[in-house]
Structure 1
Amino acid sequence: MNDTTAHALSACRTLWELVDRRARLTPGRPVLLQGDRTLTFGALRERAERVAAGLYGMGVRPGPVVAWQLPTRIETAVLSFALARLGAVQSPVIPFYRDREVGFALRRSRAEFFASPGAWRGHDHTAMARRLGAKGVFEAYDRLPDGDPSVLPAPPAEGTAVRWIYWTSGTTSDPKGVLHTDRSLIAGGSCLAHALRLTPADVGSMAFPYAHIAGPDYMVMLLLYGFPAVMFEHFAMARALAEYRRHGVTVAGGSTAFYSMFLAEQRKRPGGRVVPSLRLLAGGGAPKPPALYHSVVREMGVQLTHGYGMTEAPMITMGDPHDTAENLATTEGRPPRGMEIRIVDGEVRLRGEAVCQGYLDPAQTAAAFDPDGFLRTGDLGRLTRSGHLVLTGRLKDVIIRKGENISAREIEDLLATHPAVGDVAVIGLPDPERGELVCAVVEQPPGAAELTLPDLVSHLRSAGLSVHKLPERLEVVAALPRNDTLRKVLKYRLRERYSGTVK
């Protein structure tokens, strides 16, 4: 019954229609949990309408862009849905970003309003916004604009207009403004929701910035299936565990880095369950070594499903909890109905409702889509006979040594099985004789024996790796550089660090 309802709701034209229909179905059920606070589906609709009226009184209308740089709080979700009620164009900005990224987003989006958390975690966002010349700056942390909903015009009736501008991470160049519609976000969230086989009895968690594309992805899932999620304003595993246990979280995750953090906590408690209620870890955003999947399932006693998504298409494929261990360990799952995947010269290309409309820069849009309307992802992969997607690396992450192409991902997956390797990034470094040499940058787990290059090479040889792919250099670091959203490893920083040094 609930699954039928969820599939019916996934046909909603707009996000506001989805909020309204869920609120009518289960007004008293909780949707967001944070500390001692609870927001129900009914209260989400009511508060969002009042905030929409307050924003309307400030001059917010459909068309002009409202940028917001807010932490993962109940108020942030309410403000975002209030803007959806108005049909305004909104541009979420990750709260960890500073002058360069925020200034770029404000300029390129031509935002007419900017919602700030004020002074948050030692940084004055309001002062930064004014320094950058932001227009219509207002603070939206504990207090939100308020008004009488009777003044509001009718909500938007269609969901195919661009109403969202999300920003790529900008790890190698300026960020790109990615254009989404309500329908593309609903389609992406529906893929996640249906693939994970969730029920109203589940309790989820948001351990990532709400301003990330995963924010609406996750909210759509909650609205479709009518269950709540715990929100973390700033995620720290030690403190988060108490909240997971307190609220009986059944589904958690975020990305590969989160799986590793859970596993590390579990290993501190052999013989027990780190979160007794937990039954499923799920996420995406970064490669998952097969060895990590097997370790999580064996040691934590939970299932792990991994997916594939990007800012341009928030959910492309997702693992099914009922799939085989082999598929869950070695693939990214299968695409949902409506998502077409085409492999062209090894590159994964996409077409479907969940795919973005393009970029703010028309030239970037023209370069990103092929003549058939498929998005070029820059990811390398293949489809199995059963339709599962296997990612093998990035076009920009192929190491060319003496004319031979080497997949960094293949080496990383094998190194992840070494007991002295906690996490690893394999990169190509310039070499005058070979073109590029293979360098492994390793983060070791606590208490591990010191890793040497001969140890590493011996391990890879025993795993059957071809000789020409063996690393010629090893760097051991205290921590790999990561971004602030899904904790992806920033390989460009490693290349910058080690390209100018010779060993």
Structure 2
Amino acid sequence: MTQLSLATVLAEAARKYPDKLAVIDSATTERITYRDLWRQTLAYAAGLRELGIGPGDTVAIQIPNLADFPRVYYATLAVGATIVPMHLLLTPDENAYVLRDSGAKLLVAHSSQLANAVAASKIAGVDVVSVGPAVEGVRRLEDAAAAVPPLRTYVSREAEDIAVVFYTSGTTGKPKGALLTHLNLVMNTVVNVFDIHELYEDDVVMGCLPLFHTFGQTVGMNGTFRMGGTIVLLARFTGEAAIDLMVRENVTIFHGVPTMYIGLLEAAAKADRLPALRLCVSGGASLPVAVLEKFNETFHATIFEGYGLSETSPTATTNQPAFGVRAGTVGHPIWGVEVEIARPEIDERIEFMENGELGEIVIRGHNVFAAYLNNPEATAQAIVDGWFRTGDLGTKDDEGFITIVDRKKDLVIRGGFNVYPREVEEVLARHPAVLQVAVIGVPDPVHGEEICAVVVPDPGGVTAEELIEWSREKLGKHKYPRQIRFAEALPLGPSMKVLKRELRKTYSEQ
């Protein structure tokens, strides 16, 4: 069997760039070279071994965007164990479910997360240790590490062994654990760095996407370390904090989700200086074209929009200079990955559709996960004829550009007509008084479902009637929203995506 470990990403960077800054931690002000980060990682790995962790065990980690995240992440890989990154916004009950379902043997939590972590670990019956400032009554990983010599090198694993278990957000029932192999994650990291954009070892990357999430972890952290760049960690994102930090640390690359780009645009209006960004990447949810255009104009930096899922390591497609860039699309498949459009109504086999036809996006390649943990039924439904069925609806044009139209389950059927919320959102996002918008279907006795737009308005104000009129002029009769609801903020999940299920819950009952 072929041996491969994701730990190689940091180990080799430490060998090649020992004196370069790997991490700037804005919360603790630590500035850590690759040599020191790898040394600290091997010490933590020895500490984990001292606590009884070895090859094949599973370790859950609950740590914000601090230098301790990469230290514990790579230490877990180095000792041969599998990582379960814990979302930081879940309740102890929700976290306990993940701990039990994943079979975690240990939870490593930053001291700032201990109240939640200890509560979850008690429910699940899992041991917990802390990193960061000492907290009375809780064992520290640093103490376990100090008691023994560091590991000499990382434990070898096989390419198809499981490196990370990502729990999907569970829009339908309980979250599912997607099993990602060392090969999945090493390949996605390498292709992101070497096959898509021109990246350089002196690039400085903004690390404000949550590291527990696949986008921040693979594209942000692992990608930066693979190319020998520097990642600047920001534990709590606000537009103002991000702009200040990017200016101060000369950040050249920004990875974000649409809500972050909206936050940066709001903050830019009040900022004295803007960062000189060379490359911006958006993923996680559809980026309104109006936001992309305004950002490019304000920051003089092009946003390359991409697409992926936890199950695809995550990157599947992205706008790439080699194929040209087209706003409103997610570009082309990455190297070694195929993306097609299949008939969504046929479950048992993959039947391709013609270019331009709307269907379900299906993916195959080195990035597709191994299986869902403890869930053979869900695995069999998701992987058909060697293709991963994404549950997303989209099209592919004659030039190969992929466009995401919507989630299958977000589709609104009004009076028998299909309405895709994204199309309505794009129109409303262009209204100058709309900061953010999410469109959902709410029950309606006449039409079955009615179109409802939940809007975060500009402080200048706008009326529901104005927005309905604006939409009516630009959308077909069955598409424009008859209901506008104003909100101070949209509910966001741990990966900063808008939670439409929460909106449906809130507004369906009104």
TM-score, structure 1 as length reference: 0.90
Query: Displacement of 1:108 after TM fit?
Result: 0.5
1:14 aligns to what?
A: 5
2:269 aligns to what?
A: 267
1:176 aligns to what?
A: 176
Correspondence list, 1:292-371, <5 A: 292-313=291-312, 314-320=314-320, 324=324, 327=326, 329-345=327-343, 346-360=359-373, 361-370=375-384
Q: State whether residues 208 and 256 of structure 2, in contact with CA within 8 Å, keep that contact through their aligned partners in structure 1.
A: yes
Q: Partner of 2:478: helix, strand, or coil?
A: helix
2:282 aligns to what?
A: 283
Paired AA for residue 207 in structure 2? M
Relative distance call for 1:405 and 1:37 in structure 2 (3 A) is same
Paired AA for residue 253 in structure 1? H
Match of 1:456 among 444, 456, 467: 467
Q: What count of residue pairs does the alignment treat as equivalent?
A: 479
Correspondence list, 1:65-464, <5 A: 65-120=58-113, 124-142=115-133, 144=142, 145-146=144-145, 148=148, 155-194=155-194, 195-217=196-218, 218-269=220-271, 273-275=273-275, 277-313=276-312, 314-320=314-320, 324=324, 327=326, 329-345=327-343, 346-360=359-373, 361-370=375-384, 372-447=385-460, 449-453=461-465, 455-463=466-474
Relative distance call for 1:126 and 1:331 in structure 2 (3 A) is closer
Q: Partner of 1:156: helix, strand, or coil?
A: coil
Q: Partner of 1:367: helix, strand, or coil?
A: helix
CA distances 1:136-175 after superposition (whole Å, capped 9, x unpaired): 2211225634155576686214321113211112244211
1:29 aligns to what?
A: 20
Q: Partner of 2:254: helix, strand, or coil?
A: strand
CA distance in 1, matches of 2:335, 2:280: 23
Percent of aligned positions that are identical:
32
Q: State whether residues 200 and 229 of structure 2, in contact with CA within 8 Å, keep that contact through their aligned partners in structure 1.
A: yes
Relative distance call for 1:467 and 1:351 in structure 2 (3 A) is same
CA distances 1:315-342 after superposition (whole Å, capped 9, x unpaired): 11122257656x0x12112111111112
CA distances 1:99-144 after superposition (whole Å, capped 9, x unpaired): 1211100111121111122344xx6134314431432221122563
Q: Partner of 1:42: helix, strand, or coil?
A: helix
2:499 aligns to what?
A: 490
Q: State whether residues 304 and 321 of structure 1, in contact with CA within 8 Å, keep that contact through their aligned partners in structure 2.
A: no
Q: State whether residues 337 and 365 of structure 2, in contact with CA within 8 Å, keep that contact through their aligned partners in structure 1.
A: yes
Query: Displacement of 1:203 after TM fit?
Result: 0.6
Q: State whether residues 178 and 369 of structure 2, in contact with CA within 8 Å, keep that contact through their aligned partners in structure 1.
A: yes
CA distances 1:411-455 after superposition (whole Å, capped 9, x unpaired): 1111111112111111111112211111111111232x32223x2
Paired AA for residue 468 in structure 2? V
CA distance in 2, matches of 1:12, 1:317: 27
Q: State whether residues 406 and 422 of structure 2, in contact with CA within 8 Å, keep that contact through their aligned partners in structure 1.
A: yes
Q: State whether residues 184 and 356 of structure 1, in contact with CA within 8 Å, keep that contact through their aligned partners in structure 2.
A: yes
Structural RMSD (CA): 2.1
Q: Partner of 2:164: helix, strand, or coil?
A: strand
List 4+ stretches of structure 1 deviating above 3 A.
147-154, 321-325
Q: State whether residues 187 and 353 of structure 1, in contact with CA within 8 Å, keep that contact through their aligned partners in structure 2.
A: yes
Give unmatched runs, 5+ long, in structure 2: 134-140, 344-358
CA distance in 2, matches of 1:105, 1:133: 9
Query: Displacement of 1:483 after TM fit?
Result: 1.3
Paired AA for residue 380 in structure 2? A
TM-score, structure 2 as length reference: 0.89
Q: State whether residues 259 and 281 of structure 1, in contact with CA within 8 Å, keep that contact through their aligned partners in structure 2.
A: no
Relative distance call for 1:321 and 1:268 in structure 2 (3 A) is farther
Give unmatched runs, 5+ long, in structure 1: 1-10
CA distances 1:42-61 after superposition (whole Å, capped 9, x unpaired): 22222211211121122111
Q: Partner of 1:196: helix, strand, or coil?
A: coil
Relative distance call for 1:287 and 1:153 in structure 2 (3 A) is closer
Relative distance call for 1:153 and 1:59 in structure 2 (3 A) is farther
Q: State whether residues 44 and 150 of structure 2, in contact with CA within 8 Å, keep that contact through their aligned partners in structure 1.
A: no
1:5 aligns to what?
A: none
Q: Partner of 1:253: helix, strand, or coil?
A: strand
Q: State whether residues 191 and 318 of structure 1, in contact with CA within 8 Å, keep that contact through their aligned partners in structure 2.
A: no
Q: State whether residues 119 and 125 of structure 1, in contact with CA within 8 Å, keep that contact through their aligned partners in structure 2.
A: no
CA distances 1:385-404 after superposition (whole Å, capped 9, x unpaired): 22221001111111111111
Q: State whether residues 42 and 150 of structure 2, in contact with CA within 8 Å, keep that contact through their aligned partners in structure 1.
A: no
Q: State whether residues 211 and 221 of structure 2, in contact with CA within 8 Å, keep that contact through their aligned partners in structure 1.
A: no
